Amino acid sequence: MDFEEIIFKRRTIRRFKKEPVALETLKKLIDLARVAPMARNIQALEFIIVHSVEIRKKIFPLVNWAGSLPEDQRTPEKGREPTAYIIVLVNTKIKNAYVDFDVGAAVENILLGAVNYGIGSCWMGSIKAENIKKLLKIPEYYNIKHVISLGYPDEESVIEPYKDSFNYWKDDVGQMHVPKRALNDIIFKIF
């Protein structure tokens, strides 16, 4: 797959097959995050891999799914839950300013890497960070920024032309439709 194909193929996936993602693949995804640009090259991001079934089950209720969908379509059904998570941390002893830029770059590298390995992902910001911190015994000087849900896709998501709403939706067969503005609509000016 070439780079452009990876970018256009990257869609948020919220339904996963039961097949686990190899621990080595998850480490490779974090390695991709590790080399992302960081403001002033101060590298305060650290990551937790959640691979075990026991901890995955405990993390699952601590993340919120698909806010634009009707409530009965948001959360993955039993047997379609993520088979791994990557939790994105900021070590505030190293850095506490301009970290959102660092996080965005690192997470995007993970998401694009996941596509390259045939893995679906969901970048989640609506999380119960304090509960996760307590569950995993994460020290206070770490901030949990995001959770990335991962697994082999068990749903499809396609780009739709933007019409009058940014809300994504599912059709009758469960395919996700995500409106995106057209290129010419987002180019403000050309000089």
Packing angle, helices 99-116 and 23-34, rounded to 10: 140
Q: Nearest 5°: CA angle at 157, between 66 and 188? A: 85
Helix ranges restricted to H, 12-164: 23-34, 53-59, 71-74, 99-116, 129-135
Chain-centroid distance of CA 38 in Å reads 19
Give the H or E element holding residue 91. Answer: strand 84-91
Pairing of strands 157-161, 176-180: parallel
CA pair distance 14, 75, nearest whole angstrom: 8
Interval 82-101: pLDDT, tens: 999 999 999 999 998 899 99
Mean pLDDT computed over 168-187: 90
> Do residue 11 and residue 65 come from a single domain?
yes
Q: Nearest 5°: CA angle at 159, between 9 and 81? A: 65
Q: Across-strand partners of 169?
A: 177
The two structure tokens encoding residue 94: 């190293």
pLDDT at residue 11 above 80? yes
> Do residue 112 and residue 138 come from a single domain?
yes
Interval 55-74: pLDDT, tens: 999 999 999 987 777 677 78
Nearest in space to 136 (alpha carbons), one of 51, 26, 55, 44: 55
Residue 163 lies in domain: 156-191
> Do residue 165 and residue 77 come from a single domain?
no
Nearest in space to 160 (alpha carbons), one of 173, 175, 179, 176: 179
Phi, psi of 48 (to 5 degrees): -115, 130
Query: Which pLDDT score, from 0 to 100, does residue 136 have?
Result: 98
> Do residue 141 and residue 164 come from a single domain?
no
Domain total of the chain: 2
> Do residue 176 and residue 99 come from a single domain?
no
Interval 19-59: pLDDT, tens: 999 999 999 999 999 999 999 999 999 999 999 999 999 99
> Do residue 140 and residue 161 come from a single domain?
no
User: In percent, how much of the chain has pLDDT > 90?
Assistant: 81
